[in-house]
């Protein structure tokens, strides 16, 4: 019930009110509290919004998302509502403004139901780093939902909202989408405004969506993308995409040999990928196998640059201006030290220290400058490959969702992002499609990556791949 935008429209047309739909989700969230995906339900304001939407429906002036209930990751700002990035350092803080992408959804009469748990400051691949406890995977409560947007993924997976917003810095939408059997889109860098997103690494961060269909992904992207005077990195033209439809047009898929044969790849996930390629080939599409020599450099490159940006971005959380302040501290310096030491979690402190190190005198050129040069090589190689290919097809994750506390080594946890960081480094749009099913019963995704600003091709090709894989 109400799993897609189309479902919601049908319900409205058949006489259901936006208030009834909103109450349905509020009650369902209550019965799924054990999943810990909602940090706060905006019950009162959601119902107020629903009443306004019902009045518009009565007048025939409603927007395109009338009655569609959406959840937001707890690092996306919503005026007069709390936002904490799942951290104690922002305890009690209420936003003074609304993120641009969120405002565009509200302008189309979407109803914002609540804020969703995540890894603290979007730093993590398992949602085990939240100051407010783990989010549980609805498919198996002993397993992680992925991260950092774990709450956003599970909210859609468990049917607690129609769609949700997350952020993707190195795979934080696509990886949890793979683990929860949802559609996760990371748009082209700059396609969606970052105004109102609490920054982790500014040159990597991108807001995106979790949905239950490619059609919903496309519709939400169309509404949210476009230039924004409040974000200088936003693309200055709107990217228009048509509703995904099946086409017989032959397409070219590139597969990287290094990705297909990567160490640690689950055998079933690999066989499913190979089988998908055979199906595409049998349907008349071209499969190109190429070498991408930078696979082993991607994760180290990503963590050098993102931690450097994080150490700068998170300097503002000092215990002085807003949020948590240690009451025992005496003087400015002690206030900084004690507030940040207690307010930030272990993983956030680890990344701040790593970033401060790579930016420090004597190490800047050895690490940060060198990483920027490698980033340019990755972009150039990716652009070169996509010049003669429609999309790059690859795994989303090395395997299915792992159990809690089973990955304790930080480096091993960072390697969970091995297939997703590529799109953030190069800035390309990428999507995880929930097409795989493991013998364990757990879902896993296939990832497609397209040229910059080619969300149209990405979504149309996604529809094609989905139809071919599901033809059996």
Buried residues in 438-466 as b, exposed as e (16+ CB within 10 A): eeeebbbbbbbbbbbbbbbbbbbbbbbbb
Q: How far apart are CA 464 and CA 450, in angstroms?
A: 14
In which band, very low, low, confident or very high, does the pLDDT at 1 lie, cut at 50, 70 and 90? confident
* Catalytic residue chosen out of the listed positions 130, 148, 167, 193: 148
User: What does the pLDDT look like over 300-321, one tens digit per residue?
Assistant: 999 999 999 999 999 999 888 8
Q: How far apart are CA 6 and CA 447, in angstroms?
A: 25
Domain residue extents for the chain? 1-472
CA dihedral 67, 73, 77, 82 (to 10 degrees): 90
DSSP of 137-193, one letter per residue?
PTT-TTB---SSSHHHHHHHHTTSSSEEEEE-SSSTTHHHHHHHT-EEEEPPTTTS-
Query: Which pair of structure tokens corresponds to residue 235?
Result: 């693309």
* Catalytic residue chosen out of the listed positions 172, 311, 339, 389: 172
Q: How far apart are CA 93 and CA 324, in angstroms?
A: 9
Q: How far apart are CA 78 and CA 83, in angstroms?
A: 8
Q: How far apart are CA 168 and CA 148, in angstroms?
A: 8
- Residues paired with 207 in a beta bridge: 167
Q: What value does the mean pLDDT take over residues 380-389?
A: 97
Q: Contact, 35 vs 135, CB < 8 A?
A: yes
Looking at residue 246, its pLDDT comes to: 86
In which band, very low, low, confident or very high, does the pLDDT at 332 lie, cut at 50, 70 and 90? confident
Taking residue 236's Cβ as centre, other Cβ atoms within 10 Å add up to 9
Share the mean pLDDT of the chain: 96
Q: How far apart are CA 450 and CA 347, in angstroms?
A: 32
Looking at residue 322, its pLDDT comes to: 81
Q: Contact, 445 vs 178, CB < 8 A?
A: yes
Q: How far apart are CA 412 and CA 390, in angstroms?
A: 32
- Active-site residue flag, 149: no
Q: Where are the beta strands (DSSP E) in 242-331?
A: 252-256, 286-290
Q: How far apart are CA 143 and CA 99, in angstroms?
A: 32
Which CATH number applies to 1-472?
Answer: 3.90.1300.10
In which band, very low, low, confident or very high, does the pLDDT at 417 lie, cut at 50, 70 and 90? very high
- The CA-atom distances, in angstroms, between 190 and each of 16, 194, 208, 225, 349 are 37, 8, 11, 9, 28
- Report percent pLDDT > 90 for the chain: 92
Q: Which of 71-80, 122-131, 217-226, 241-250 has the lowest mean pLDDT?
A: 241-250
- Active-site residue flag, 148: yes
Q: Contact, 34 vs 141, CB < 8 A?
A: yes
Looking at residue 323, its pLDDT comes to: 83
- Active-site residue flag, 178: no
Identify the residue with better confidence: 64 or 327: 64
| CA angle at 420 for the pair 106 and 234, rounded to the nearest 5° | 40
Q: What value does the mean pLDDT take over residues 346-358?
A: 96
Q: How far apart are CA 159 and CA 66, in angstroms?
A: 18
Under DSSP, the state recorded for 135 is: P
Give the β-pairing of 38-41 and 111-116: antiparallel
User: What does the pLDDT look like over 16-43, one tens digit per residue?
Assistant: 999 999 999 999 999 999 999 999 999 9
Q: What value does the mean pLDDT take over residues 70-85?
A: 98
């Amino acid at each position: 019930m109400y799993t897609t935008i189309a479902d919601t429209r049908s319900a409205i047309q058949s006489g259901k009110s936006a208030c009834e739909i909103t109450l349905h989700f509020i009650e369902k969230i209550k019965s799924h509290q054990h999943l810990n995906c909602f940090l706060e339900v905006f019950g009162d304001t959601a119902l107020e919004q629903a009443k306004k939407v019902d009045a518009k429906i009565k007048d025939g002036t409603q927007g395109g998302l009338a009655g569609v209930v959406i959840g937001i990751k707890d690092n996306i700002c919503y005026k007069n509502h709390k936002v904490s990035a799942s951290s104690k350092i922002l305890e009690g803080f209420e936003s003074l403004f609304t993120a641009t992408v969120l405002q565009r959804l509200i302008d189309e009469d979407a109803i914002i139901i609540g804020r969703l748990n995540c890894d603290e400051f979007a730093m993590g691949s398992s949602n085990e780093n939240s100051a407010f406890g783990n989010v549980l995977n609805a498919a198996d409560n002993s397993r992680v939902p992925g991260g950092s947007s774990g709450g956003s993924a599970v909210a859609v997976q468990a049917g607690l909202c129609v769609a949700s917003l997350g952020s993707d810095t190195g795979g934080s939408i696509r990886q949890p989408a793979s683990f929860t059997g949802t559609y996760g889109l990371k748009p082209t860098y700059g396609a969606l405004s970052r105004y109102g997103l609490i920054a982790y690494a500014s040159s990597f961060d991108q807001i995106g969506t979790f949905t239950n269909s490619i059609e919903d992904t496309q519709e939400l992207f169309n509404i949210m993308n476009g230039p924004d005077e409040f974000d200088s990195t936003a693309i200055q033209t709107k990217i228009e995409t048509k509703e995904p439809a099946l086409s017989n047009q032959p397409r070219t898929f590139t597969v990287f040999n290094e990705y297909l044969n990567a160490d640690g790849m689950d055998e079933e996930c690999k066989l499913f990928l190979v089988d998908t390629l055979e199906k595409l080939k049998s349907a008349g599409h071209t499969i190109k196998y190429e070498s991408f020599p930078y696979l082993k450099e991607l994760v180290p490159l990503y963590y050098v640059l993102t931690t450097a940006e994080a150490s700068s971005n998170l300097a503002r959380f000092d215990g002085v201006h807003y949020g948590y302040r240690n009451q025992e501290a005496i003087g400015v310096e002690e206030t900084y030290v004690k507030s940040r030491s207690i307010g930030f979690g272990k993983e956030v402190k680890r990344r701040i220290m790593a970033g401060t190190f790579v930016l420090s005198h004597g190490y800047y050129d050895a690490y940060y400058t060198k990483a920027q040069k490698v980033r340019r090589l990755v972009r150039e190689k990716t652009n070169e490959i996509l010049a003669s290919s429609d999309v790059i097809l690859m795994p989303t994750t090395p395997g299915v969702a792992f159990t809690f506390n089973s990955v304790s080594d930080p480096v091993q946890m960072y390697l969970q992002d091995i297939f997703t960081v590529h799109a953030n480094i190069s800035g390309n749009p990428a999507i995880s499609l929930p097409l795989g099913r493991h013998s364990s019963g757990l879902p896993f995704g296939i990832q497609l990556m397209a040229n910059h600003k080619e969300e149209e091709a990405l979504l149309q090709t996604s529809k094609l791949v989905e139809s071919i894989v599901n033809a059996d």
